[in-house]
């Protein structure tokens, strides 16, 4: 059974979905709404946030004060490639920092429709290369992201591999959006259970980011990419979300490519439930942190 807190959040999301039509909201309103959701968890006093730039890409270092570490996580936020910022994802970043014992490099890659594909991929690669330029060893780095940021995590890994760059020690993806063509069976089979997303919106959003012809480009939809040679990857996804099969099929393809991959399907959970103040999120973040500690021991 889901926790009382999870049931409360699910009810809130269902009410929001019933009362709001994203198509009627401006981009500015949608972006502001996601930023506001990110501010619902107050920042503890021991969290240190430093505004900076990663290879020209704006962002923040998010870390736990007085906890020295050489472990680094490059975090790529979600938001369908047209929303999201440090404001929307700072609380998730510091919770990941707590769980993993890492400094989190939270970046603000360029957003669509002002900046279409491949802008986000280019910025993520630049940010990773900037970490290497700071003499951070690749085996001390993890890349992680949620939703669109999960897909972007995989696209970044593929881009780095193809460019012959040293890959990070591991990656974690939270409800990753890996098939912008929207072909997964769960797009329909989970539509009645998903309290947040719905198939029509999921299929419209990509056209802000790319052309119809690019929907199956391997760096737009990593489900269609060659995934051989990637580092160990942990996948988290909610059982009740429309994008469930984006993760299930990704896991199958990673395993077929010989990549060490683990998938955890969280019962009764929805898209990126990690972002909410519920016990299930705390448990999931601890699992991600433990995975990072296993792959990047101090």
* Token digits of residue 40: 């619902």
**Candidate list 271, 274, 275, 280, residue with the active-site label:** 271
Asked if 103 and 63 touch (Cβ cutoff 8 Å), the reply is yes
What does the DSSP 8-state code read for residue 86? H
* Token digits of residue 54: 């990663």
**Rounded CA gap, 289 and 174, in Å?**
13
Catalytic residue at 271?
yes
Three-class DSSP labels, 216-281: CCCCCCHHHCCCCCCCCEEEEEECCCCCHHHHHHHHHHHHHCCCCEEEEEECCCCCCHHHCCCHHH
**Candidate list 186, 241, 247, 251, residue with the active-site label:** 241
**Rounded CA gap, 30 and 182, in Å?**
21
Helix (H, G, I), strand (E, B) or coil at 5: helix
Q: Residue 184: in which H helix or E strand, if any?
A: none
Catalytic residue at 147?
yes
Asked if 101 and 293 touch (Cβ cutoff 8 Å), the reply is yes
**Candidate list 85, 130, 147, 275, residue with the active-site label:** 147
**Rounded CA gap, 19 and 52, in Å?**
38
The residues that are catalytic are 147, 241, 271
């Amino acid at each position: 059974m889901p926790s009382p807190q999870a049931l409360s959040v699910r009810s809130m999301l269902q009410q929001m979905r019933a009362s709001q039509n994203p198509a009627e909201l401006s981009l500015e309103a949608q972006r502001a709404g996601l930023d506001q959701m990110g501010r619902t968890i107050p920042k503890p006093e021991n969290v240190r946030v430093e505004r900076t730039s990663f290879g020209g890409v704006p962002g923040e270092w998010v870390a736990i004060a007085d906890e020295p570490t050489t472990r680094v996580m490059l975090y790529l936020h979600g938001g369908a490639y047209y929303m999201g910022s440090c404001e929307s994802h700072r609380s998730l970043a510091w919770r990941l920092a707590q769980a993993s014992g890492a400094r989190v490099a939270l970046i603000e890659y360029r957003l669509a429709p002002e900046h279409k594909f491949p802008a986000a991929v280019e910025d993520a690669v630049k940010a990773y290369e900037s970490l290497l330029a700071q003499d951070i060893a690749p085996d001390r780095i993890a890349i992680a992201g949620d939703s669109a940021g999960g897909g972007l995590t995989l696209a970044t890994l593929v881009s780095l591999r193809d460019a012959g760059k040293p890959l990070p020690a591991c990656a974690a993806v939270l409800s990753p959006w890996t098939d912008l063509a929207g072909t997964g069976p769960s797009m329909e089979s989970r539509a009645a259970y998903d309290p947040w997303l719905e198939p029509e919106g999921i299929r419209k959003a990509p056209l802000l980011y790319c052309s119809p012809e690019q929907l199956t480009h391997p760096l737009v939809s990593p489900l269609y990419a060659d995934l051989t040679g990637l580092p160990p990857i942990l996948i988290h996804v909610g059982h009740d979300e429309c994008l469930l099969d984006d993760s299930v099929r990704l896991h199958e393809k990673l395993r077929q490519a010989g990549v060490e991959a683990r998938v955890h399907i969280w019962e009764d959970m929805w898209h990126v439930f990690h972002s909410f103040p519920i016990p299930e999120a705390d448990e999931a973040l601890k699992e991600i942190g433990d995975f990072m500690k296993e792959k990047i021991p101090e």
